[in-house]
């Protein structure tokens, strides 16, 4: 059995039922919208976020209709943000598929993202899941703030390690925390357990994003060299931040000047990537990722041993060892 199958095992039926449930919500009388929606549904990934909602719900009680509403709302809003991100970043491929803006242009992509957003809001309001709506709305607000903070810092190239953690907490961890919190909330878990699952999701999200930033130094292109995509976009992440923090001012300014002026040039970026490895940036980032992983596991271990806890534990370990 694959890792994904083992993680989904406790909620296999719910994940099977979720697919038609999600598709039904997106039905429209506009043919173009249905064509685009079907294209999006065909290229869906592992559906980590609905999975987290259902696992959190099952760990804290019996999965209900409210759990499906929460999973659907989060997946709709997450998909909307991805579509809008592709427009903003002028990205034409995602997971090996053409993006919506690549196939149907930016104006249509923005409108489709808006449609997904509105369907999610209507679904929560119709079923009177105001608490879940509040959880998810807070997450989307934080995500927007995180993206804007990252853009501001990439322009000025003056991000500190503290600000980096703030960016990844807002940009990535808050949505994962919304999944685990909404899951617990949907089964009427008490306030203590809802808060516990929120913290679990936050730590998991922080570990997830640090792993993502590490992958940029580990993935290689056709020539066998690290991709360095973050640096090409002038995003300074934890591995480099740690190394910059140990440098003399003049040396640090030289590195930042190279990133500012020559971030598109592979030959200029490659030595910086190598320097980060040699000066301990990768090791330090792995250590910080492991600390967040362990904090997530510490919370998980306050629950009795069961199939659902085991699945979440495996998900935490997979998150910090994944290669993609």
Q: Choose the most confident range, by mean pLDDT, from 34-43, 56-65, 78-87.
A: 56-65
Domains of the chain, start order = 3-319 (1.10.600.10)
Question: What pTM value is reported for the model?
Answer: 0.90
| DSSP assignment string, 100-114 | HHHHHHHHHHHHHHH
If you compute the radius of gyration of the chain from its CA atoms, what whole number of angstroms results?
Answer: 20
- d(C-alpha 317, C-alpha 321), whole Å: 6
| DSSP assignment string, 228-254 | -HHHHTT---HHHHHHHTTS-HHHHHH
Confidence band of 224 (pLDDT split at 50, 70, 90): very low
Tell me the angle at which helices 174-186 and 65-88 cross, rounded to the nearest 10 degrees: 160
Say what the pLDDT of residue 220 is: 59
Say what the pLDDT of residue 268 is: 83
- pLDDT average, residue stretch 306-317: 96
φ, ψ (nearest 5 deg) of residue 265: -95, 115
Confidence band of 120 (pLDDT split at 50, 70, 90): confident
- pLDDT average, residue stretch 315-323: 91
Which residues 6+ apart lie within 8 Å of 321 measured at CB? 211
- d(C-alpha 201, C-alpha 185), whole Å: 13
**pLDDT for residue 128 is more than 90:** no
Q: What's the residue count for the chain?
A: 324
Q: Choose the most confident range, by mean pLDDT, from 52-56, 224-228, 244-248, 253-257.
A: 52-56
Confidence band of 45 (pLDDT split at 50, 70, 90): low
Say what the pLDDT of residue 242 is: 93
Largest CA distance in the chain: 62
- d(C-alpha 158, C-alpha 155), whole Å: 8
Terminal Cα-to-Cα distance of the chain (whole angstroms): 19
| DSSP assignment string, 119-152 | HHHHHHHHTT-HHHHHHHHHHHHHHHHHHHHHHH
Say what the pLDDT of residue 95 is: 67
- pLDDT average, residue stretch 297-305: 96
Which residues 6+ apart lie within 8 Å of 287 measured at CB? none
């Amino acid at each position: 059995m694959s890792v994904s199958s083992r993680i989904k095992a406790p909620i296999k039926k719910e994940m099977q039922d979720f697919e038609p449930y999600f598709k039904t919500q997106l039905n429209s009388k506009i043919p173009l919208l249905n064509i685009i929606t079907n294209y999006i549904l065909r290229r869906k990934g592992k559906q980590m976020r609905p999975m987290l909602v259902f696992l959190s719900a099952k760990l804290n009680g019996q999965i209900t209709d409210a759990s499906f509403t929460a999973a659907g709302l989060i997946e709709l809003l997450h998909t909307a943000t991805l579509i809008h991100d592709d427009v903003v970043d002028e990205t034409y491929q995602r997971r090996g598929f053409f993006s919506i803006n690549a196939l149907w242009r930016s104006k249509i992509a923005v409108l489709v993202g808006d449609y997904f957003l509105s369907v999610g809001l209507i679904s929560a309001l119709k079923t009177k899941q105001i608490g879940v709506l509040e959880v998810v709305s807070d997450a989307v607000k934080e995500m927007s703030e995180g993206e804007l903070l990252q853009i501001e810092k990439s322009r000025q190239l003056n991000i500190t390690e503290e600000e980096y953690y703030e960016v990844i907490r807002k940009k990535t961890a808050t949505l994962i925390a919304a999944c685990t919190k909404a899951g617990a909330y949907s089964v009427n878990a008490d306030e203590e357990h809802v808060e516990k699952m929120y913290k679990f999701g936050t730590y998991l999200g922080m570990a997830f994003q640090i792993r993502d930033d590490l992958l940029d130094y580990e993935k290689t292109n056709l020539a066998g060299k690290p991709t360095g995509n973050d640096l090409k976009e002038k995003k300074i992440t934890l591995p480099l931040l740690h190394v910059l923090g140990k440098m003399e001012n003049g040396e640090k300014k030289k590195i930042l000047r190279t990133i500012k002026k020559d971030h598109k040039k592979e030959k200029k970026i490659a030595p910086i990537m190598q320097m980060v490895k040699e000066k301990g940036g990768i090791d330090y980032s792995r250590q910080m990722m492991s600390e967040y992983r362990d904090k997530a596991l510490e919370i998980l271990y306050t629950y009795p041993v069961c199939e659902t806890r085991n699945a979440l534990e495996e998900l935490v370990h997979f998150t910090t060892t994944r290669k993609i």
